[in-house]
Structure 1
Amino acid sequence: MKFTTSFAALAFAAVAQLVSAAPTNIARDVWDPKVTFPTTGSVLESGQTVTVTWDLSQKPAEVTNSIGRVVLNWGNIESPVILAENFPLTDGHVDIVVPRVYTRSDYSLTLC
């Protein structure tokens, strides 16, 4: 029991040292652009090429992670379908091909 307590204290001290060594003067941006198309109620057909668009008006001056991905979600699935990836978020749009899926009303797209 003494070894476990000592190990936990050592681990905590190591983590605390790493956190305190992290630079605090680096500005981090969080940019969550709003998807402007498709919107709620849009009907997309399987096989159709669609241009997904998003709002660039709130883009920070410097985007630290500008590589995007569009994911199709529905219900409670654990493995969403990647529709596009490795494109510049700063473009404001990307073309996707709507996959062959069942007709449902709870699909959503995530831009990340």
Structure 2
Amino acid sequence: MKFTNMMTLAASLFIFAIFGAIATPVTLEKRDVFVPPVSSPRSGTVWKSGERHTVVWDTRNAPVNITNKVGVIRLRKDDLTTPLILASNFDILSGRQTVTVPNVVEGDDYQVVLFGDSGNFSPKFTIKGSGIQF
């Protein structure tokens, strides 16, 4: 008899735990997502492979509590973000980061993507070859 009562009690606690957890409201922390606009490179900019340039973004409206302050800059072409990482592990609040332009196919449809909390694209710009003759 005691065994049956223990089983009933255990089953009741299990059911309460499941439905109690479902009925319990979840409180989420307030998170501030920072999406700084990229100001350089801008439309009409021309970079050459092998050169060093500074990517610049506006940090004036940065929230106090940023979810992710570690930045990554990647290259985007033809509206697809490439696996090419131009810079990483920098403070998103620095507002600038120097990068080396990779050796890529020439084109006028490149963008840099600034990642931290989210991805933000620069305007489209041009990358030309290094001019080295082989």
TM-score bin (small chain): 0.7 to 0.9
Work out which of the residue numbers 35, 42, 46 in structure 2 matches 1:32. 35
Report the AA paired with residue 74 of structure 1: K
Q: Is residue 2:27 matched to residue 1:23? A: yes
TM-superposed CA distance for 1:21, in Å, is 5.5
Secondary structure, aligned partner of 1:31: coil
Q: Name the counterpart of 1:9.
A: none
- Distance in 2, matches of 1:78 and 1:33, equals 18
| Deviation, structure 1 residue 84 | 0.6
Unmatched 5+ stretches in structure 1: 1-12
1:1-112 matches, within 5 Å, as: 17=22, 22-24=26-28, 26-75=29-78, 77=80, 79-112=82-115
Higher strand share: 2
Percent of residue pairs identical: 34
Give secondary structure in 2 for the equivalent of 1:29: coil
Higher-Rg member (1/2): 2
Q: 1:78 to 1:67 in 2, by over 3 A?
A: closer
Consecutive unaligned residues of structure 2, counting only runs of 5 or more, are: 1-17, 116-134
Aligned-partner SS, 1:105:
strand
Q: Is the 8 A contact 2:72 2:88 kept in 1?
A: yes
Aligned AA (2:56): T
